[in-house]
A and B are shown apart, each in its own frame.
Chain A
Amino acid sequence: MNNQELVQGNEACARGALYAGCRFFAGYPITPSSEIMEYLAREMPKVGGVCVQLEDEIASISAVIGASWGGVKAMTATSGPGFSLMQENIGYAAITETPCVIVDCQRWGPSTGQPTKAAQGDVMQARWGTHGDHPVIVLTASWVREVFEMTVLAFNLAEIYRVPVILLLDEVLAHLRENVTLPVAGELQVVERVEKTNGSMPSFGAGARLMVTGMAHDETGFPVQGEKAAQLLKRIVGKIEEHKERLVRYQGFYLDDADFLIVSYGITSRAVEAAVERLRAGGVPIGWLDLKILWPFPDKPIREIASHVKDILVPELNLGQLVREVERAAAGHAPVSHLGRVDGSLITPEEICRYVREKIARVCL
């Protein structure tokens, strides 16, 4: 076990950001995300970057967008309430095609809620929180090492597609510590911004004439209306939609002979993994789809699997969010049910095993 370290989820996120070349962080402290900024406040200056605490989350996302146009990879981290404050400018990042990363460590409920309890209640906010039709990529993670990897991927996808990329974590994973061997330099791919002076995204102050606006615009950056505005919207949304097949990321387990399917993501996947192993050991024909990217949503694989299973279960720490997408993608091929938990605790492997066994007893009658 060489190079093993005991690392917290939030620390893995901060270190993943530095690994990916992030050199600007702006944020406002909020449980359970604060350790990300704490780590970067200490470490960012050592690599010549800037970490700044601003007056609120609106200023934070604004500074991140500005830094990105200054030619620097930039990130902010927050939780649900702060994420809401950032929504307007996430739209601005989308229409100005600004690469940036927004981390949301989800906590319980609207408003202050239970700030130290986990939830997966911001799934729809991540996709639809900002206004208007817009492109967005939403990643998630279940393991401390995976937090690191997904943070690096978030920066890469932000650069490649020039979109805001959202990384959805949760209180338990953010605060969880595990023994990990984190990637060394060169182990993971890091996508660099090309040609800052001319290229597709020149930086402010680097010599190119730049016009960046939230208004509908053409390739010169000046305002347009009508068909040209429609073209802009279709193009920025199409960046993600047209590359959907390349972007979707999930792992399938025991799918070949599965009669029952569980679709899960984030911290809940940890309980599902334990449950699926137990159920399989007991001879239950269960399969599992573990989603790593929530948007774009993996419609096609879910539709295909739905056509040969009897039932689909979606466990989530909310009252029913991603289950709606699964239901839509399954398109009636298999019934989709939801196992939600909203008391601030995780769904346990026992709960899943019990639910599946009861369900199978009913379906097989």
Chain B
Amino acid sequence: MSTRQIRLSGAGGQGLVLAGIILAEAAMRAGYNVAVAQSYGPEARLGASRAEVIISTEKIAYPQVDKPDVLLCLSQEAFDKYLVGLGEEALVLVDSSQVLISTNHRKPKIIALPLQRAAMEQVGSKLVTNVVALGALNALAGIVSWEHLATAVAARTPSKYRDQNLKALDVGRALASGASLA
């Protein structure tokens, strides 16, 4: 049995639910069972938001993540809140352009990358930070094939912004290949 639990956390409006949908759809195309649960506050924007993706070769009975293997944090609030309760070998990706990693939080597998800055400087929009993050996360955690992920990005983004999002995926991937531990 193989199951991965992925928590994508940040603030409302950062596209975390969409990132979860894209990741799950890519995994579904690869033949896995998937569940995407979302959790957010009553605000239209900001406030803590998260998407939880479970990818498994087995039937997924309980549909929420209890011990993440992979954690993405795009906001300080999310980082401070979700660093506890991780799996033993969990991988944590943090957007260093939005999160300050205090030394007492330091864990072996926290990887800090300037995701939002890369989105703005290399793709020209901070709106694609979620897809940059997906690219980086997949490069680091090896969740799905790039072919499936790119297909899912293309399928779930408006045609007008498709190229921009596919570029964002590549930017994230490249960013992570030069990544070092925080």
Contacts and interface: CB of A to CB of B under 8 A. Distances in A.
Closest 3 CB pairs of A and B: A274-B61, A177-B36, A273-B61
A43 B40 CA distance: 27
A364 to B, nearest CB: 27
A341 to B, nearest CB: 13
Interface string A273-305: 110010000000000000000000000000000
A60 B61 CA distance: 35
Contacts of A114: 42
Contact of B42 (A115, A172, A271): A115
A348 B62 contact: yes
Interface in A151-180: 172, 175-179
A346 B64 contact: yes
B169 interface: no
Interface of B: 21, 24-25, 28, 31-42, 60-64, 66
A179 B34 contact: yes
5 contacts: A6-B24, A6-B34, A172-B63, A178-B60, A270-B61
A114 B48 CA distance: 14
Contact of A177 (B24, B32, B40, B41): B24
**Residue with the highest number of chain A CB atoms closer than 10 Å, among B25, B35, B63:** B63
Contacts of A115: 42
B64 A349 contact: no
Given A6-B28, A172-B64, A178-B33, 12 more contacts: A116-B40, A116-B41, A178-B34, A178-B60, A178-B63, A179-B28, A270-B63, A274-B61, A274-B62, A348-B62, A349-B66, A350-B66
Interface string A1-20: 10010100000000000000
B37 A172 contact: yes
Contacts, number: 61
Chain A residues touching B, range: 20 to 34
Contacts of A172: 37, 63-64
Contacts of A270: 61-63
A330 to B, nearest CB: 26
A66 B66 CA distance: 46
Contacts of B63: 172, 176, 178, 270
A291 to B, nearest CB: 17
Q: Mostly helix, strand, loop or mixed at chain B's interface? A: mixed
A119 to B, nearest CB: 14
Contact of B33 (A179, A346, A349): A179
Interface in A112-136: 112, 114-116
A172 B65 CA distance: 13
A172 B40 CA distance: 11
Nearest to B35: A178
Contacts of A346: 62, 64
A349 B62 CA distance: 7
B89 to A, nearest CB: 20
B74 to A, nearest CB: 19
A4 B28 CA distance: 8
B25 A116 contact: no
Contacts of B61: 270-271, 273-274, 277, 349
A172 B30 CA distance: 25
A80 to B, nearest CB: 14
Contacts of B40: 116
Contacts of B60: 178
Interface in A240-277: 270-271, 273-274, 277
B62 to A, nearest CB: 4
Contacts of B36: 6, 176-178
Contacts of B38: 175
Contacts of B62: 270-271, 273-274, 346, 348-349
